[in-house]
Structure 1
């Protein structure tokens, strides 16, 4: 039995997705007194609206069996209710729907992360908690017992001292990357903006920090990560100062400022969709610039865009 957890921001979109006709939905139950479908959405919206500061206010879980295995709807309801209680949603509204559109029998649970009292349901350690519950259900219902992913088992078997040391080491590496980014912004030079970017990247690579660009299929860069000592950190993990948009702005400001210190008279900013040069243009001596394309899109995101296109045609 496998559980996948998604935290979202649009309760209506998630609700519509699990109830779409193409998935052959079967209502299993809810935590609202088995009310009609339109009232379910109204209750979910009321709960979510109690906390406008919580961005990821939607909890969406998919629990699936291995091919060939089946459970009755009553069993699914017991498993789903037990799962939501285990995850901390015993006082929050949620909906449970079984889909019949794949060879794996599975259910979807969509919940408000704001409970009836306006309190936020924590998402801390949600993956680990879900895996513990899956293993218990497999034994209780005589299902195929899947092996817990190696990564989780390693984490579980680590001592508190090992976890503390690893956390401290990650903090040290983050500070190392941040210090080098600041230094590269200060020291990079170039006759135009693209050359300035290449010098910026080269300084990082020279200090054993690889740069990874995250790109859409059209080549536009939407994010960046930094890797050192076999550890990779997204720019957003380094703090607000280093989030992608802010970092791009800082790069441009540093180019304008640093250019005035050089011999060049007028700085030239050439239009570009890329934050960094491609690896075919520049490859440093002790690191690389890599590109990560966003090819595997989440099924729910595809469904959202498909709905938007349909609405656009109807206007």
Structure 2
């Protein structure tokens, strides 16, 4: 399970996002997407819980604003939470409601105004909670340690509902969990897409065009980064493909293609007429360099070595004893 928690200033915008379809999609696009991926893009939102509130987006906003007036000092009265299941995990609506209520308790808004909304337009079921941090007593729900609390909540819910366990942000893991290798499926997919594209093209323009066809926005400057269909931005260097590396691979492929074309257009009359170093030899050298580079880039991601926590503790104790012993 993946959780998000944030605060904001606009009740209307948060509630509108939770209750309405995606603005960038036309009605025709919603119909086409629904037929293609069998998801509900039209009327994607279903309200599971109205807590201390009710109505449409305008009525809800008005109600939230009225209670917010009980504490005018708070600059960010909006609490926005989302919980997304991992691929393959499924819960009933009753379980999703239970999950939303547990989330409200964790963040101190169980008695505040909030709505819990199920979105049906993605493969992974997920809920959104739009809440008023200001309670009916004028007190404000704390936003301290939000990310740590969200990580702990996700781990509890995963165990409670027997869901796939997703590692929390690294700094919130226990010492034993921190040394476990992590798997980032988003980066793995980007790495695989770049790898496959580089195998198929020989020019940067073709590379960028094919990456865009795969759903990425490509931003090239001093480096290169990719934005996927979920608006997540990842640097090429984070997945082993910096701009310099991509350009070097494409440059080698261009040089090899150019030399092979030159040989085909003007083939030597006989082997004795080939000069040394010949065009063939230069091509072979370029191919070897390209092959070596591709092998380094295309090999599977290193998993990392697992270190037994017990051995680590013994090592630290031994090191501490040695440090304390007289020299």
Larger radius of gyration: 2
Q: Bin the TM-score by the shorter chain.
A: 0.3 to 0.5
Q: Which structure has the highest helix share of the two?
A: 2
